[in-house]
Every structure is written in C-alpha cells, then in structure tokens.
Structure 1
C-alpha cells in the first residue's frame, strides 16, 4: 500500500471517527456535518453527489451514518475504504454505549446528566431544522417542478397527516424510477428520429 493510500485511509478514519464521536442526535444531524466535512472542508465530493449519498443512506436499511460511511469509504478507496469508514463511524458509539451500559442506573438517576440530555435535545432539533432547510434549498435550486412538488407533498403528508416515512420513501423511489424510465424512453425515441 502506498503512502498516499495510507494517508487517504487515515484521513477517512479520522474524519468519520471525529464526526461520530462528537455528534449527538442521530443520523440527520451527522448528515449535515458529513456534508460540511466531505464537501466543504475536504472537497472529496460535490454538493449533488453528497445529496445522492444522503438519499441512498436514508432509504437503505440500517443507521444512516453507517450507510453513508459505507458509500463514502467505498467511493474514496473501495472495499478497504468502506471498512475503514464504517469502523471509524461505529467505534465511538460502541465505546460510549458500552460505558453507559455499565453505569446505566447512575446515569438514569443523575439530575445533571438528565438536564444535559434535555438541553442537547434542543440543540439537536436546531441542527435537524438546519438540515431540512439546506436540503429544501438544494431541491428548490434544481428548479424542477416534479422535485419541488414531491418535496412539498412529502412534507405535508409526513407532518400533517402522519403518513409513514417508509411509504414516503417507497413512493419517492417509484416516482424516481418512473421519471428515469420516461427519460430513457424519450432518449430512445429521439435517437430513432
């Protein structure tokens, strides 16, 4: 393995480890921070590619950060990169949860920790709101009526009608496949003319 490869793998591990270790609030929070790290700071991906990674990570089974790490790691350095990124992402929560499980009763009954967790919830809500605004802005920037309509309808169905997120994801998948097939058919007809 070349030094350049080792350097990329180390940067990948360090980035995923730090993101995972210092991110509270789950997948939607870490996605925003991954975008800042991998798009803006390291410039490994562009904005559109990171949105695609986010969409795949959210619609695949399993935790969003792990799914995103697999894709990012694989994109950067194949299977070895995927393994390094997943290890970097999984290690901090595994250690933290192991420590918490040993002291669970003390954590549960400690008022200071309970208050700290309540305050963290407010911060997490703000970060999730930021992610929603950024993703919405990116969808609107496409100026595609279909995408903007799907986003708006999905928001209304989820927030006001309590439609399951799985129904929304599967419906969006079906719409995306239909759009792709229609586009391919139109290209085929154009090619024949």
Structure 2
C-alpha cells in the first residue's frame, strides 16, 4: 500500500514539475515524460513509451493531458491517471490565470518577448533530441517494415504536408494488417508443427 502511495506521489510530483517547467506545447512534455519515466525511473520500456505516445497523439484533446493519462494509467491504473492529470493541469491553470490578469502588461514587454523567443530555440532542441532517441530505437530494431513506415510518415508530413490525422490512420491500418498477418502466420506454423514432428 505504501509502495503504491509512493508511486502515485512520484507520478504527481513528476507531472507537476514537468508541466510547470515545460514551454512549447504538449510534444515537449511528452518527450520529457520519456526522459523521466523511461530513462530515470525505468518504470516504462522505451517500446511501450512509443506506443503510449502514439495513443496520446491519436486521441482527441491536448497531447500533454493525453500523455499524462496513458502514462498514469500504465503505471498505477485509474488512481495514476487522476494524479497525472491533476499534476499536469495545475501549473498551466495557475500560470494562465495570472497571465490573463496582467495580459496587457505582458503583451508588449520587450524582455518577456525575448525570453519566449529564446525558449522556442530550446524547445526545438529538446524535441529534436527525443525524436532522435526514439527514432534510433526503431532503427536499431532492424525491422525494415517499421523503418520504412517511419520514413514514409516523415516524408508525407514534412515534404508533402499531408495532414497528420491521415498519416496516423494510415500507420494504424498498416500496424493492424501487420499484426493480423503475423498472428495468422504464427497460428499456421503452430498447426503444422505436430504434423512435421510426426513425419
């Protein structure tokens, strides 16, 4: 019981901290969740984190909250989901509430505009770093089909500007077909094994 409470507390503190100090959108907090829960705590495998990110990205709503939901549920079920959501939404709620009060002063402030401009460069670096880490995991798996899907999705988005929704649906369809074919082949191999042994 105490161990579960400790896990819930760590989930809450981690998501609260990441949400409070993450600038640049939901993709950044998802990448930082990977560093926290995969690299630091070792609570989630990297392959599982890729699956969770895919679920978070393909679900409606803010990706930061979706990411917190799937990670929290993976680690501690429904209580983990609730504390992860709470930890994720508290900082932006408070910060935006304060900013809305002083919006007129912040809007034209030279120092704040330059701070935000600098943060954009840092955000780009963080996203690029985690994309490299996760992409290299797929490359190192040496699964040709997965590598081709990754490259095709990248080209479709960056070169041809295809809507991400269509790319996600296409990748989900390919993944489903691959899984069905793989399961059918494994069942076929299993059904032939006893006969092969008898002969």
How much has 1:101 moved relative to structure 2?
Answer: 1.2
Normalising by structure 1, report the TM-score: 0.94
Alignment of 1:26-105 (within 5 A): 26-105=25-104
Question: How many Å separate the matches in 2 of 1:136 and 1:45?
Answer: 17
CA offsets 1:73-125 (integer angstroms, 9 cap, x no match) = 11222211110111001111111111111111111111111111111111111
How much has 1:133 moved relative to structure 2?
Answer: 1.3
Worse overlay, 13-22 or 43-52: 43-52
C-alpha contact 1:100 1:107 (8 A) present in aligned 2: yes
Runs of 4+ in 1 over 6 A off after TM superposition: none
Match of 1:141 in 2: 140
Match of 1:161 in 2: 160
**Residue ranges of structure 2 left out of the alignment (5+ in a row):** 193-199
Question: How many Å separate the matches in 1 of 2:140 and 2:57?
Answer: 21
Match of 1:181 in 2: 180
C-alpha contact 1:29 1:131 (8 A) present in aligned 2: no
Q: Give the SS at the match of 2:89.
A: helix
Normalising by structure 2, report the TM-score: 0.92
**Residue ranges of structure 1 left out of the alignment (5+ in a row):** none
Match of 1:11 in 2: 10
Over the residues paired in the alignment, what is the CA RMSD in angstroms? 1.2
How much has 1:148 moved relative to structure 2?
Answer: 0.6
Match of 2:189 in 1: 190
C-alpha contact 1:73 1:84 (8 A) present in aligned 2: yes
